[in-house]
């Protein structure tokens, strides 16, 4: 058995299609299929059920694949050890970031990171939390930028900072007269929230101590949004209110600053972290990314202590 055969094995498991796996391994499908067949013959077992579409690993195949991921990851560390000794920071760093962070956090550090590390190719994807974790487990991402804690044993969380929640309130709403509000004052019937699947939605509902069943929007308008910016515009032009992360209102125009209201102490927070697989590679690159992000965050956020962190999962 060879490392190449194990890499082909992992590619088929990841993509669940022989032709797609071969394309990502830069070989022909017959070459990939032949190598996998040799591996199965050597082991004396069938690793994939080829009668199903998409192709799926057999029960024994799942165990072999899990071990193969460990073997391939450990083998890759040999190259990383050599690179670290040479003090080189180069190569590709694949980053997954959730939509409620991407437009506000990425612009803060990406330019300085690329200028400081010109030999690193940064590949950034906007994905939901579950997609990031899945891609980390399949080694399709190197690191995720998301909100924790996730309580997932397959990943390791590296907290970066604690970001406060703020309320964005239409001037005609009764709460617009309050300088600081409390969660008990929030009425879900007047609250605009993101679609299901966004961890930010779950956190907003946790702040309100409510489930999201039957929640559709304020008044007679049922609007399902995946964008915080859209929710801002709706609050400005319609009525009601929404909750936002602190970074999203840092550069808000002066004429709209009156719509931003803080919470009473202790303010609800979200924990923003770098997340990696337990057997993660590219440690030096990820450490460099961590340092650049922390340095780019405004001091009042960077220095904030962990206090009232809101859970990510639904209550």
Q: What is the pLDDT of residues 99-110, one digit of tens each?
A: 999 999 999 999
> Cα-Cα-Cα-Cα dihedral of 307, 228, 199, 264, to 10°?
20
CATH entry 3.40.50.300 includes domain 163-262:
no
CATH entry 1.10.10.10 includes domain 3-84:
yes
Q: Establish whether the linkage from the previous residue to 227 is cis, with ω within 30° of 0.
A: no
Q: How far apart are CA 314 and CA 205, in angstroms?
A: 8
pLDDT band at 87 (very low <50, low <70, confident <90, very high): low
Burial (CB < 10 A; 0-12, 13-18, 19+), residue 200, is buried
pLDDT band at 81 (very low <50, low <70, confident <90, very high): confident
Q: How far apart are CA 213 and CA 268, in angstroms?
A: 22
Residues of the chain with CATH 1.10.10.10: 3-84
> SS3 for 256?
helix
> SS3 for 89?
coil
Q: How many CB atoms lie within 10 A of CB 148?
A: 22
Is residue 232 within 8 Å of 119, Cβ to Cβ? Answer: no
pLDDT band at 198 (very low <50, low <70, confident <90, very high): confident
pLDDT band at 85 (very low <50, low <70, confident <90, very high): low
Q: How far apart are CA 18 and CA 54, in angstroms?
A: 9
Q: Which CATH class for the 89-161+270-303 domain? A: alpha beta
What one-character DSSP code corresponds to residue 179?
A: S
> SS3 for 257?
helix
Residues of the chain with CATH 3.40.190.10: 89-161+270-303, 163-262
In the block, tokens 């088929």 appear at 12
Question: pLDDT tens-digit profile of 151-190?
Answer: 888 899 999 999 999 999 999 888 988 888 888 888 877 8
Is residue 191 within 8 Å of 243, Cβ to Cβ? Answer: yes
State the pTM of this model: 0.78
Give the model's pLDDT for residue 220: 43
CB-facing half-sphere around the CA of 96: CA atoms within 13 A = 22
pLDDT band at 214 (very low <50, low <70, confident <90, very high): very low
């Amino acid at each position: 058995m060879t490392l190449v055969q194990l890499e082909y094995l992992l590619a088929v498991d990841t993509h669940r299609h022989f032709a797609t796996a071969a394309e990502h391994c830069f070989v022909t499908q017959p070459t990939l299929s032949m190598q996998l067949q040799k591996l199965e013959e050597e082991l004396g077992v069938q690793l994939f059920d080829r009668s199903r579409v998409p192709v799926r690993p057999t029960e024994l195949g799942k165990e072999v694949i899990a071990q193969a991921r460990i073997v391939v990851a450990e083998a890759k560390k040999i190259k990383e050890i050599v690179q670290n000794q040479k003090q080189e920071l180069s190569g590709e760093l694949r980053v997954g970031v959730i939509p409620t962070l991407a437009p506000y956090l990425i612009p803060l550090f990406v330019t300085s990171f690329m200028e400081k590390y010109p030999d690193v190719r940064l590949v950034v994807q906007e994905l939901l939390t579950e997609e990031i974790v899945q891609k980390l487990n399949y080694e399709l991402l190197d690191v995720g930028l998301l909100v924790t804690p996730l309580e997932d044993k397959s990943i390791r969380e590296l907290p970066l900072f604690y970001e406060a929640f703020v309320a964005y309130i239409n001037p005609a709403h009764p709460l617009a007269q309050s300088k600081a509000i409390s969660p008990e004052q929030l009425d879900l019937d007047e609250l605009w929230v993101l679609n299901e699947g966004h961890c930010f939605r779950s956190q907003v509902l946790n702040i309100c101590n409510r489930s999201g069943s039957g929640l559709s929007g304020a008044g007679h308008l049922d609007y399902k949004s995946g964008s915080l910016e859209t929710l801002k515009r709706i609050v400005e032009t319609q009525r009601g209110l929404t909750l936002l992360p602190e970074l999203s209102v840092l550069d808000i125009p002066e004429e709209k600053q009156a719509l931003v209201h803080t919470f009473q102490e202790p303010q609800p927070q979200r924990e923003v972290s770098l997340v990696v697989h337990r057997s993660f590679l590219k440690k030096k690159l990820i450490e460099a990314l961590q340092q650049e992000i922390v340095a780019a965050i405004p001091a009042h956020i960077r220095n904030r202590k962990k206090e009232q962190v809101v859970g990510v999962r639904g209550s």
